[in-house]
Structure 1
């Protein structure tokens, strides 16, 4: 048996010598197989990344250029920084070096582009960067919120100025006190920039300009009583639901 390289060579010589005697419809069978791509359509560009950012009048959007590189041999490319300032606070975010922000006043808003739209990593970060920037703009203008529902007998939540089991991380920090079936209260420090309130004993409202911080704190509270599927008890975040199961009968 010939290896693949010799087989292709033999096939090409055989086709060249006997192309006159072989019918035309049999010639493709003697040729080497060609590599075909999976899809013949053109790649779909990011629709989220190409959409212009919507900036309210009270929000300031500023792009700070990257600092000059320290040396020629440095592999780390400097990144530019975007500062977003609004009535609810100020947030900043570093932009990858291959993402460009066009702030042409003739456009409806700043538009993001990438250097090479055929690169998979740049296409992925194109829409991701735009979504993060729009989330920051919404956070400093309107804010992000998370509503936690405590479902269970005796489940309660309060916001306290002091705690007995947790040390404060910054001056004036408040704490969320949970009573969710443990023999001791659960005390969690509220992150800086997040505001917590209890409109009802079984409702906890978290508000803040940075969505990631608000939702991460909500997840930390939820993990103390994850919703269970038999009685439907637990801590539910926003519109979270759970499908109940029937009781196990032996």
Structure 2
């Protein structure tokens, strides 16, 4: 049984949801988002509460139950608030700057890295070593932050690279003579 799937998703004031077939569309003050669920689950909206129930007892139906409920909860949160990922850049000479719709990264390569910021996401650099990725789609925000981090992952000897704020990097000991 899914513990997450059992919890209903409550709609805050100012947010409305409509179900047509397997697609749920949620409207709020920050925009409209929709999600299409698989045929393994049923989505129902009653009295400002969204419930997700499985259509069988198969393993796939139980898997989709919890995942669908989480996706619906993220959409409800996204039309009212924003999702945020914070990144830190560590290393001598490593820095970032946002110029229009392009994120320019200096990461120790022989060239600057130009990262095109996708639509629906905003990237801000308050300091040259701190980035904030914000948006209304949880999956897109996480994917953009992961793509930026992939340009220079933190290495285990000096800790240089791009890391999530608060991420712990296990430091290895160097070679001994």
Given the two structures, how large is their TM-score scaled by the length of structure 1? 0.68
1:150 aligns with 2:89: yes
| Deviation string, structure 1 residues 143-195 (Cα, Å, up to 9, x no partner) | 1111110001111111112xxxxxxxxxxxx0110011112110011011001
Matches within 5 A, 1:15-34: none
Provide the residue aligned with 1:100 in structure 2.
Answer: 42
8 Å CA contact 2:18–2:45 kept in 1: the answer is no
Give the C-alpha shift of residue 97 in structure 1: 2.0
Q: Could you tell me which residue of structure 2 aligns to residue 52 of structure 1? A: 8
* TM-score (norm. length: structure 2): 0.95
More strand by share: 2
Structure 1 counterpart of 2:156, from 203, 224, 229: 229
- 1:154 aligns to what SS in structure 2? coil
What residue is the counterpart of 2:166 in the other structure?
239
Shift of 1:219: 1.1
SS at match of 1:84: strand
Which position in structure 2 is the counterpart of 1:82? 24
Which position in structure 2 is the counterpart of 1:112? 52
Are the counterparts in 1 of residues 30 and 79 from structure 2 also a CA contact under 8 Å?
A: yes
Q: Distance in 2 between matches of 1:99 and 1:52?
A: 14
Larger radius of gyration: 1
3-state secondary structure, aligned to 1:230: coil
What are the Cα deviations for residues 79-121 of structure 1, in whole angstroms up to 9, with x where unaligned? x21111222222111012231123232xx612111121x2111
Q: Is the 8 A contact 2:84 2:135 kept in 1?
A: yes
Gaps of 5+ in 2: none
Match of 1:248 in 2: 175
Which secondary structure state, in structure 2, belongs to the residue aligned with residue 141 of structure 1? coil
The DSSP-based 3-state class of the residue aligned with 1:103 is strand
Identify which of structures 1 and 2 has the higher relative contact order when contacts are C-alpha pairs closer than 8 Å and 6+ apart: 2
Q: Distance in 1 between matches of 2:16 and 2:163?
A: 35
Q: 1:238 to 1:58 in 2, by over 3 A?
A: farther
**Unmatched segments (≥5 aa) in structure 1:** 1-44, 66-79, 162-173
Counterparts of 1:52 and 1:123, CA distance in 2: 16
